[in-house]
Structure 1
Amino acid sequence: MREKQFAPATERNREPILAVLKQILPPTGTVLEIASGTGEHAVYFAPRLSPRHWLPSETNPILQESILAWREEFPSDVLSPPLDLDVMDENWWEKVKHQDLCAVVCINLIHIAPWAACEGLMKGAEALLPQGGILYLYGPFKQQGVHTSESNVSFDESLQQQNPEWGVRNLEDVVSLGKVHQLELQDVIAMPANNFSVVFRRGINNK
């Protein structure tokens, strides 16, 4: 029997995130969620963002099973089973076959992963998104190298104690990386609990 996993932060942040997604997502198409975790966001967002199609993904087998368990409990015609994706794999985006992709959503990943994960995410978003497609990031960020709250200082320290390659990212570094991959910063939205929504739009490929 599949076992659901739980992430307490999901219930706290899902409504604010949903409000932003409703504003920024194209009206139709497939939304690829990177690092879907427990699947709680996926089952909550998918029916509320219909007719868009929600495509979760995850590399952890336990979390893949959790996504399927949540999907079985809250079935939706616009929610796919999860893809096995790791943005640090070379050419990971080739596993994504949907030609109608309109957005890539990534919630609370890039600070709990090496910088190479952010690089892979941006590279894949460039490869997958059409012109005007959206890349949405959510999580804590430093601005001009400075934390936006004392709690984020402690959080950053705890992350780096777990793995020196992890840590709260500098927003300007993320924006600069996006530019390399034709991803133009559209908005930075302050969110509850000292987090931010960072919205990129896929520009014209002029390489």
Structure 2
Amino acid sequence: MDKPYSQACENNKLPILEKIRPYLTEVMFVLEVGSGTGQHAACFATALPHLTWQCSDLAVNHAGILMWSEDSDARNLPAPLTLDLASTPWPVAEVPAIYTANTLHIVSETLVQAFFDEVRQHLATGGLLMIYGPFNYNGQFTSPSNKDFDSFLRSRDPHSGIRNIEWICSLATQAELVLLEDYTMPANNRLLIFKRQ
């Protein structure tokens, strides 16, 4: 198979890395939920050699993730774990940090809730949750392009769609998380940094 490629990942990986790097200076392990093509993992693991970057995704995506891992020569990228938000429990114990990008608007609201339920189970006290993607504020799209993107998502799957930040924060509160930062990112995206109380 050809190595999977996302232009969006190439565009946003360095801006994301710039924001998350200061939070990870003393973190030794990050679980990435929904690693997709593996491009973020290859970039971040190479830039942060002191930690283990653990990919996870549906089994169908593992071959592509492994291609990016192997081409990166990073020694801190173990084989991806099989993780399906529709199945519990997650295949990890307690972890100090969780990262996910462009996932919560792809899956259903039920699976977003399941994600936060599992975060509560597996994120250590004082641990970090980092979420990248588009969000609505006060029920409003932040740009015409996000509105068009939401329509596209719902045309493919009516259970998907851009989530309201207020709902995400309420789920985070239930998972004993506090919002540390809400960063404005390129292409009308956001980077949310939460900490487990």
Structure 1-normalised TM-score? 0.91
CA RMSD for the aligned pairs? Answer: 1.3
Give the aligned residue type for 2:83. Answer: L
CA contact (8 A) 1:33 1:55 kept: yes
Structure 2 partner of 1:147: 141
2:64 matched to 1:96?
no
Structure 1 partner of 2:124: 130
Give the aligned residue type for 1:31. Answer: V
Q: Following TM superposition, by how much is the alpha carbon of 1:26 offset from its aligned partner in structure 2, in angstroms?
A: 5.2
CA contact (8 A) 1:58 1:86 kept: yes
CA contact (8 A) 2:27 2:97 kept: no
Q: Following TM superposition, by how much is the alpha carbon of 1:88 offset from its aligned partner in structure 2, in angstroms?
A: 2.0
Q: Following TM superposition, by how much is the alpha carbon of 1:60 offset from its aligned partner in structure 2, in angstroms?
A: 4.3
Structure 1 partner of 2:77: 79
Distance 1:26 1:96 in 2: 22
The gaps in structure 1 that reach 5 residues or longer are: none
Distance 2:67 2:84 in 1: 21
CA contact (8 A) 2:49 2:74 kept: no
Distance 1:138 1:145 in 2: 18
Give the aligned residue type for 2:188. Answer: N
Distance 1:59 1:3 in 2: 18
Aligned length in residues: 197
Q: Following TM superposition, by how much is the alpha carbon of 1:90 offset from its aligned partner in structure 2, in angstroms?
A: 2.5
Aligned residue for 2:154, secondary structure, equals helix
Structure 1 partner of 2:34: 35
Q: Following TM superposition, by how much is the alpha carbon of 1:72 offset from its aligned partner in structure 2, in angstroms?
A: 1.6
Q: Following TM superposition, by how much is the alpha carbon of 1:24 offset from its aligned partner in structure 2, in angstroms?
A: 2.2
Give the aligned residue type for 1:34. Answer: V
Structure 1 partner of 2:103: 109
Distance 2:114 2:100 in 1: 12
Give the aligned residue type for 1:112. Answer: I
Structure 2-normalised TM-score? 0.96
